[in-house]
Structure 1
């Protein structure tokens, strides 16, 4: 089994997501970036955009506005000023 990346996505109000996943894609201030397990340490500010969390064939997407992302040996923590999960609707 491949290594998993621990991710925690939090706002000042609550934790929106926590778990072990395959990959996270986030809107950094220097551009969009992806993180896999074993990624080099990194800290960056976030811009408005989409955080995508991929695990197998599952994909969850969150609209974020501002904040920080911290990647370290334990995984990635995203501290968003505001965030909301996209909810797919069926017409």
Structure 2
């Protein structure tokens, strides 16, 4: 399966831009995992951890985010967060 292009952006900087296997996003309606080929969706973020899986079966890397939005489209997953650390 192809990789998912993932970008995490705050007002101050581009935190992450890379191809990954899967990302779990803390949406206000619940967490969801995005992989390549995911249906288009947009959600408001709740404060929590974005979990980045670089490869299938790998341990996730957590990045704490607060506020913002996430959008999945044909280009990949973009997370626009008010702040991010980790």
**What's the TM-score once normalised by structure 1's chain length?**
0.88
Using the TM superposition, give the Cα deviation of residue 12 of structure 1 relative to its aligned residue in structure 2, in angstroms: 0.3
2:31 alignment partner in structure 1? 32
1:68 alignment partner in structure 2? 69
**Larger Rg over CA atoms:** 1
Using the TM superposition, give the Cα deviation of residue 60 of structure 1 relative to its aligned residue in structure 2, in angstroms: 1.8
Unaligned regions of 5+ residues in structure 1, if any?
86-91
Q: 2-side partners of 1:45 and 1:77: how far apart?
A: 12
Using the TM superposition, give the Cα deviation of residue 58 of structure 1 relative to its aligned residue in structure 2, in angstroms: 5.4
Q: 2-side partners of 1:10 and 1:83: how far apart?
A: 8
Structure 1 runs (4+) greater than 2 angstroms displaced? none
**What's the TM-score once normalised by structure 2's chain length?**
0.93
Unaligned regions of 5+ residues in structure 2, if any?
none
